């Protein structure tokens, strides 16, 4: 079996859910590797090895972002949240408040928006 971390009987899971599981597990593994390389590079007493480990860490970050992009393309809620938070400016909790007021997240020109019901995009929502 490619993964032993399913939480439900595999016969009840659809193919898209299994693929998403593969992606999420891969993302977790890449991020763990980033953490490990970071610690090893910092603790390493040999500068050349430290440089190699840092290089490896950066490669893992690239892998993590590629996996995250796959997840973004297949989960509209992830896409919406990335649009709202990634690359935003100012306190992150303020970004959440503004998104809730403007609705849907990722909207621009919010100064000209009256208080709406905050429905926005429903992609990925039941």
Residues that bind another protein (CB under 8 A): 14-16, 73-74, 76, 102-104, 107-126
Contact partners, residue 24, CB within 8 Å, separation at least 6: 71
Comparison of 22 and 103: residue with beta carbon closer to another protein: 103
Comparison of 5 and 14: residue with beta carbon closer to another protein: 14
| Residue 93 Cβ vs another protein, minimum distance, rounded to whole Å | 21
Q: What sections of 1-126 are H helices per DSSP?
A: 15-43, 47-74, 76-85, 92-102
| Residue 63 Cβ vs another protein, minimum distance, rounded to whole Å | 23
- CB neighbours (10 Å) of residue 22? 14
């Amino acid at each position: 079996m490619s993964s032993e971390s399913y939480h439900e009987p595999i016969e009840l899971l659809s193919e898209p859910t299994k693929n998403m599981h593969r992606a999420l597990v891969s993302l977790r593994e890449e991020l763990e590797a980033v953490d490990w390389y970071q610690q090893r590079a910092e603790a390493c007493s040999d500068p050349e090895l430290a440089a190699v480990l840092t290089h490896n860490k950066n490669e893992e970050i690239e892998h993590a972002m590629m996996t995250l992009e796959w997840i973004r393309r297949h989960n509209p809620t992830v896409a919406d949240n990335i649009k709202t938070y990634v690359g935003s400016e100012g306190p992150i909790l303020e970004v959440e408040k503004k998104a809730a007021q403007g609705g849907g997240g990722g909207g621009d020109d919010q100064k000209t928006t009256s208080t709406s019901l905050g429905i926005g995009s429903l992609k990925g929502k039941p």
